[in-house]
Amino acid sequence: MDGLLNALVVLANFALVPGIAYGSQLALGALGVTLVFGVLRFSNFAHGETMSFGAMIAIFVTWILQANGVSIDPLPTALLALPVAILVTVGVVLLTDRFVYRFYRHKRSDQVIFIIVSIGVMFVMAGLIRFLIGPNDQIFTDGERFLISARDFRDLTGLREGLAIKTTQVITVVAAVVCCVLLFLFLTRTRTGKSMRAYADNEDLATLSGIDAGRVVLIAWTLSATLAVIAGTLYGLDKSYKPFVFQEILLPIFAAAIVGGLGSPVGAIVGGYLIAFAEVLLTYAYKRFLGHMLPDAWMPDGLAQLLGTEYKFAVAFVILVITLLIRPAGIFNRRSG
């Protein structure tokens, strides 16, 4: 019995807990991508940089708060900075829409043009971020680091394996759940949310029925930017903030959004967790897990690892390719690709 418990704890510590936190981060990011795609019908490659920008503003505000002695110990101060960061980032995103995307929308430009424009916006934002905060690592986590540390867990339970749960992991998961619930209530219960879904389903019909297209676009950008700031700040809190990383994380986020079905909020969440767990579980070395379950004689010699961790990103892309081959519109998309 002890063996089984130890095995479960070791799996939870190294695969399940990090997987859930990583999945939540991807899901929040993918939700923002999918909202913009649903309403504006293009893949917004600048989303990663929007996350980075929001996190950067949150860091600046956190520094100001810390300098003035404001803290909400044991929670990280950055949570207090979130509303300001959201306001600033939404402002920047709306200005970008006003001066960049609107021009192409009025010209009714092709989807491909929009994608290229968003890549341009991505580079401008990336430059701006490096200009403002620099390319280096910034650590802005404060407050209690662990909900329970590996050593405390061992002392508490008497098991041989430890389970560490970081405060930031819990905050990430809670924030992801709250965001998802609020978003679904908004989309299904409010008039504005319904008009957004109508617009996403059929742009012309919705406009003919008197839905204000400009307002829908405005709200889609606002929601997407808000989600981006929350995702970016949580990611920065949980790992550390480094501008370069947000270009890297764009890939699994898009994989999550596409696997779930671009334009589908449920799909974005499922896709996020699917990609995260596939990456973590396929590259996990099960040697220690099996060590607690099996008698010594049955132990495998190697690490019992399916794929080396260097193939982590490949996993996301293999899933992406399989999805595009078998079900191009994604798991949860009603429209065909």
Partner 1 sequence: MKTSMMALIGAAALAAATPALADDAKIGVLLGFTGPLESLAPDIASGAELAISEVSESGKLLDGTTVTAVRGDSTCIDAGAATAAAERLITSDGVAGIVGAMCSGATTAALQNAALPNGVVMISPSATSPALSTVEDNGLFFRTAPSDARQGEIIADMLTERGIKEVALTYTNNDYGKGLADAIAGAVEKAGGTITINAPHEDGKGDYSAEVAALAAAGGEMLVVAGYLDQGGKGIIQASLDSGAFDTFLLPDGMVGEALVDAIGPDLDGSFGVMPGTDSNGAEIFAKLIEAAGSKPGVYAPEAYDAAALIMLAMQAAGSTDPAEYKTKIMDVANAPGEEIMPGDLAKALEILAGGGDVDYVGASSVELIGPGESAGNFREIEIKDGKIETVQYR
Residue of 7, 93, 164, 253 interacting with partner 1 (CB under 8 A)? 164
Q: Which residue matches tokens 């990280």?
A: 76
Rounded CA separation 19/249 (Å): 15
Rounded CA separation 28/175 (Å): 9
Residue of 66, 71, 109, 149 interacting with partner 1 (CB under 8 A)? 149
Q: Which stretch binds partner 1 (CB under 8 A): 57-65, 95-103, 116-124, 306-314?
A: 306-314
Rounded CA separation 47/224 (Å): 8
Residue of 2, 137, 155, 212 interacting with partner 1 (CB under 8 A)? 137
Does 136 interact with partner 1 (rule: CB under 8 A)?
yes
**Binding residues for partner 1 restricted to 222-261, rule: CB under 8 A:** 235, 239-240, 242, 244-245, 248-249
Rounded CA separation 148/92 (Å): 38
Residue of 84, 87, 124, 150 interacting with partner 1 (CB under 8 A)? 150
Rounded CA separation 146/280 (Å): 22
Assess contact for 243 and 311: CB atoms under 8 A. no
Q: What are the residues whose beta carbons fall under 8 Å from the beta carbon of 298, sequence distance 6 or more?
A: none
Assess contact for 88 and 16: CB atoms under 8 A. no
Residue of 6, 18, 27, 28 interacting with partner 1 (CB under 8 A)? 18
Does 308 interact with partner 1 (rule: CB under 8 A)?
yes
Assess contact for 33 and 51: CB atoms under 8 A. no
Assess contact for 118 and 100: CB atoms under 8 A. no
**Binding residues for partner 1 restricted to 25-84, rule: CB under 8 A:** none
Residue of 60, 166, 223, 262 interacting with partner 1 (CB under 8 A)? 166
DSSP output for 22-47: HHHHHHHHHHHHHHHHHHH-S--TTH
Q: Smallest distance, Å, CB 54 to partner 1?
A: 15
Q: Smallest distance, Å, CB 304 to partner 1?
A: 8
Q: Smallest distance, Å, CB 11 to partner 1?
A: 9
Residue of 216, 254, 279, 323 interacting with partner 1 (CB under 8 A)? 279
Rounded CA separation 188/192 (Å): 9
Does 130 interact with partner 1 (rule: CB under 8 A)?
no
Query: What is the binding site for partner 1 (CB under 8 A)?
Result: 13-15, 18, 22, 136-137, 139, 149-151, 162, 164, 166, 235, 239-240, 242, 244-245, 248-249, 279-280, 283-289, 303-305, 308-310, 312
